[in-house]
Amino acid sequence: MDVNAAVAALAAIAGVCTGVIAMLAFRWSERDQARPTRTSLHTDAVLPPGVDTVLSVLRSSAVVLDDSDSVVKASSAAYALGLVRGGKLAVEPMLNMARDTRRDGEIRQVELDLARRGTGRGEALAVSARVAPLGSRLVLLLVEDLTEARRIEAVRRDFVANVSHELKTPTGALSLLSEAVMDASDDPEAVTRFAGRMQIEATRLTNLVQELIDLSRVQNDDPLEDSEPVSVDELVAEAIDRSRHTASTKQITMISGGAADLRVWGSRGQLAAALGNLVENAVNYSPAHTRVGIAARKIAAPGGDLIEIAVTDQGIGIPDKDKERVFERFYRVDPARSRATGGTGLGLAIVKHVAASHGGEVTVWSTEGQGSTFTLRLPEAGSARDRRPVPSPTPDLMTEPLPSPEVLP
């Protein structure tokens, strides 16, 4: 009996001890959970109320530094730009600005060129950094990426320079020829010769201005606003008719073939201009007594059937180094030949814009001395109408990279 009582007493004591230990462990756990973590110290407990939320919606890269230059808060964009590494601000000029601002409270701003991370080509990243005090101990650094803005501005300047150059040539020629006509007023043969040259330069100037207008129009117009099923047969016939006179003069045979009764969905005017430019180029850059072929077919594609229109010539061809650039504005493989044919360097740029705005593409295959094939792929009318797709973004008329002025439409 005494033994049983002793066992019961020991069990009671063990239960009490277990309860005490459990209570102490629970209290210790609660205290650990309530203890501020490093993350909370660097955000909620340090940043003024609402600042964390504001920084999370800013488009600029944001970094908050404390009085020991440690990063309290940094946006994902700041890490992506390589501004913050290992919990520290990695750009020395910005760090010096932050220290100066912490010392005197003045807002500072500077533009810097930073090396890009992950590239061994030394490409510069243009940024604008602005530092301001945030409370009594913190400093806020906002960094704006200016790289794209600078590129666009440079391209705009190049665009103006290219257009000015292209317009200056025919207008200067017209001015000189008019003076020559006046000086040769007593020589009917010379007047006739100079007047013929004036007509050529005037036509070239007119074509250049018109194609600039066309390029601007296809850039700004939404082809889906006036879209309709367009007969490919009619587009081909119109393109052939547009170049019939030039082809006849050079005794070039134009042949059309492929599948019949195909239709594409889009703006008839833009599509006619694009295909017309391809056929016109094929005729202009082909020697006499050759052939130009236009063929159409339907091909299956993951997003819906496409209509493929190929324009093939037996012309001079395009060097491999120029194939990627022939769709740039004012780019010419052979500037002398292009000027002789009246080319403006804008024809293929218009084709590229039209194809992109209609959800299609244009590609080129070419071998020097054997000819070229330009292939225009567009959504088939039925599938495109059912989908009503948003057209692919087209390169901006004013922001696409430009070649130098002296460089096939």
User: At a CB cut-off of 8 Å and minimum separation 6, what does 152 contact?
Assistant: 398, 399
Question: Residue 271 is encoded by which pair of tokens?
Answer: 């599509």
What are the b/e assignments for 308-340, b being 16+ CB within 10 Å?
bbbbbbbbbbbeeebbebbbbbbbbbbbeebee
Q: What phi and psi values does residue 161 have, to the nearest 5 degrees?
A: -65, -40
Q: What is the pLDDT of residue 403?
A: 42
**Nearest partner of 98 among 139, 152, 128, judged by Cα:** 139
Question: Residue 390 is encoded by which pair of tokens?
Answer: 């948003």
Q: What is the pLDDT of residue 400?
A: 47
Residue with tokens 């292939």: 375
Distance CA 217, CA 221 (A): 6
Distance CA 109, CA 62 (A): 14
CA angle, 334 as apex, 206 and 287 as ends, to 5°? 90
Report pLDDT digits (tens) over 82-134: 888 888 888 888 889 888 888 888 899 988 888 776 544 456 788 889 999 88
Question: Residue 114 is encoded by which pair of tokens?
Answer: 């930073």
**In contact, 102 and 68? CB cutoff 8 Å:** no
| Distances in whole angstroms, Cα of residue 80 to Cα of each of 27, 122, 145, 151, 175 | 42, 17, 11, 20, 56
Q: What is the pLDDT of residue 384?
A: 52
**Nearest partner of 229 among 271, 190, 260, judged by Cα:** 271
Distance CA 149, CA 155 (A): 10
How many residues comprise the chain?
Answer: 409
Q: What is the pLDDT of residue 320?
A: 80
Burial (CB < 10 A; 0-12, 13-18, 19+), residue 346, is buried
**Nearest partner of 352 among 313, 269, 409, 290, judged by Cα:** 409
Residues of the chain with pLDDT under 50: 1, 25-26, 28-30, 32-45, 119-121, 336-338, 341, 385, 387-409
H helices of 146-267, where?
147-183, 188-220, 232-242, 244-249
Distance of CA 132 to the CA centre of its chain: 34
H helices of 65-146, where?
76-80, 92-104
283, HSE (Cβ side, Cα atoms, 13 Å) = 25
Distance CA 263, CA 298 (A): 10
